[in-house]
Amino acid sequence: MNSLVESSPMSDRHRAPVIGITACKRESSFGPWNLEAVILPSGYTTAIEEAGGKPLLLPPGCCPSLLDILDGLVVAGGPDIDPSLYGEAPSEHISLAHPDQDVSESDLIRAAVERDIPLLGICRGMQLMCVVHGGKIHQHLPETPGHEEHGGWDGDVTEHGVQTVEGTHLHSIMGANVAVNSTHHQGVFDPGSLSVSAHSSHDGLIEGVERTDKRFCIGVQWHPERIGHVGLYRALVDAARGS
């Protein structure tokens, strides 16, 4: 009987890795009621499933001990990061921050890095990875010299090229040149102790970061799940599987 329920090394290698994805809490309409809901754009879960993983939503405030049941982690996009976390006062362009979410996601990043759990940061997720590693953020690119035309603002989506750094993990996954979407009004000014793995082709803004001492610890400024870049999620799932 035990042989039917105990996993074998072969079954462990072929099972779908469980990938946690950070989500947001927002008030949402449920019939006649407005209730607090845990929400996440469906593109994230679709990308993880297409890459061979099992997505699991992680609400703000979740305990880092949840990593015990995860094989990998995606820190998703979301609201602006509280500037006090990188030693600055907020500019007038900072959207409503969610300090509790900042703290809980920072704790998840630290725990994942410490345990060497494969980690992928998307947009805000990449920025928060940098802040956790001692970095800083451009609070509003339209007012940042040299980057005035970069990114999306007030719902806009733009496109541009990205050049990856040869020899990096991101370069091995994406190749040398990538066409990406841009939906952010903030950007990384200082990556802290993370290594830069990609820049914007037209203005040099940091678009990718990573840690070279971990199995998989990558952040990108764009949203690959919105433009069919499943390869990056597949690389995460493969790392989570141990392949």
Choose the catalytic residue: 62, 123, 130, 217.
Answer: 123
Cβ atoms of 76 and 22 closer than 8 Å: yes
Which is it for strands 119-122 and 217-220: parallel, antiparallel or unpaired? parallel
Q: Is 62 a catalytic residue?
A: no
Distance CA 146, CA 204 (A): 9
Q: Which of 133, 147, 223, 229 is catalytic?
A: 223
Question: Does residue 100 come out as left (phi exceeding 0), alpha (psi in the -120 to 50 range) or beta?
Answer: alpha
Q: Token digits for 104?
A: 């809980």
Dihedral sign, Cα of residue 116, residue 137, residue 219, residue 18: positive
| 185 catalytic per annotation | no
Catalytic residue among 105, 138, 225, 229: 225
CA atoms within 13 A on the CB side of 238: 8
Residues identified as active-site: 123, 223, 225
